[in-house]
Structure 1
Amino acid sequence: MDLSEKPGLKGVLTIELRDLGGALVERYQHHNLITTKGKQLLAELLLGKKNALPTSWAIVVGTGTDPANVADTALKAPITEQAEDRAPKVTLVPGVGTIQGTVSATLPAPPTGTVQPLTEAGIQITVGAEKILFNRVQFPPVNRGANMVMTLSWEISF
């Protein structure tokens, strides 16, 4: 009997652009890395070393083009907008034994005449007054225009 674990913590970001009528225009998927601060947060929560639980989960986006690095503590060029997920979900994937946490958020269309070429994203977890960049991904430009609503959904597998 094989009692070995197949360790891993990984995340996949799905970006969907929809027109104002709700029709899907484009869909992208990108694998990300979990930052050192993100791993530290999980360890501290597991071992009871954090005095407070996360109070908010937000997907932050930006225009930075530096590759993702485990030492990242913030996006390289964040935009001021962020989309908070008030109800992250945790599910057991049937037959696989994998636990998935999902954080989803929607960014409304930007002002008329605006096109934002977004190139990076991450999950920002707030614990007390501390904001922790849990993960980060850098990707080819995704143009968010005034006629587009952007939904970002992150699946984190344990």
Structure 2
Amino acid sequence: MKGTLTIELRDTSGAIVGRYRHHNLITTHGKRLLAELLMGKKNALPTSWAIVVGTGTAPANVADTGLKAPIPDEALDRSPDVAVVSRGNTTVVQGTVSATLPAPAAGTVQPLTEAGIQITVGNEKILFNRVQFPPVNRGANMVMTLSWEIAF
């Protein structure tokens, strides 16, 4: 299982002004969630999927349970996608979570350096994965779209 985050920054006209791709780390809590769902050990199914971002600079670690310095904004994906994808002689099942963060308030620049998928199960929020990356500046004139592909 592996995941890749794609970040796209768009100006107010919709033109892409920056595109970044980063491989991520699946957390121990994320792996445990999958195992518990597969084995019928979880009493509730996930009810929401969000991409959370922050300004933390510590490297990703499997023990992470949250972002190191999250910002209050989170981007919900109301209908994550699952597809079977053929790549040459290999077939993978790919789950995709995509969400858009609107432009922040005028005069605001956010140097974002971390992101993760946060899955809500019952009342519990689980950080499924986390990635730390060089600063991506989200400014007041930019909309940020984040897409996470998880291949099984």
TM-score (norm 1): 0.94
Return the match for 1:56 from 28, 31, 48. Answer: 48
How far apart are the structure 2 equivalents of 1:37 and 1:112? 37
Same amino acid, percent of matched pairs: 80
Shift of 1:97: 1.6
- Distance in structure 1 (CA, Å) of the matches to 2:55 and 2:25: 18
- What is the distance in 1 between the residues matched to 2:9 and 2:27? 26
**What is the number of residues matched between the two proteins?**
150
- For normalisation by structure 2, the TM-score amounts to 0.98
CA drift of 1:82 comes to: 0.1
Amino acid at match of 1:146: A
2:72 to 55, 74, 80: 80
Q: Map 1:1-158 to 2 at 5 A.
A: 9-94=1-86, 96-158=90-152
Structure 1: distance between partners of 2:19 and 2:99: 15
SS across alignment from 1:37: helix
Q: Answer 1 or 2: which has greater strand percent.
A: 2
State the AA in 2 paired with 1:105. A
Counterpart of 2:126 in structure 1: which amino acid? I
After the TM superposition, which segments of 4 or more aligned residues of structure 1 sit over 6 Å from their partners?
Answer: none
SS in 1 for 2:90: coil
In structure 1, runs of 5+ residues without a counterpart are: 1-8
Instruction: Give the Å deviation of 1:148.
Output: 0.3
AA aligned to 1:124 is: Q
Q: 1:20 & 1:154 partners in 2: Cα distance?
A: 23
Structure-1 separation of matches of 2:27 and 2:76: 20
- Partner AA of 2:123 in structure 1: A
Superposed displacement of residue 96, structure 1: 2.2
**Equivalent position SS for 1:39:** helix
| C-alpha RMSD of matched pairs (Å) | 0.6
d(CA) in 2 for partners of 1:81 and 1:17?
Answer: 16
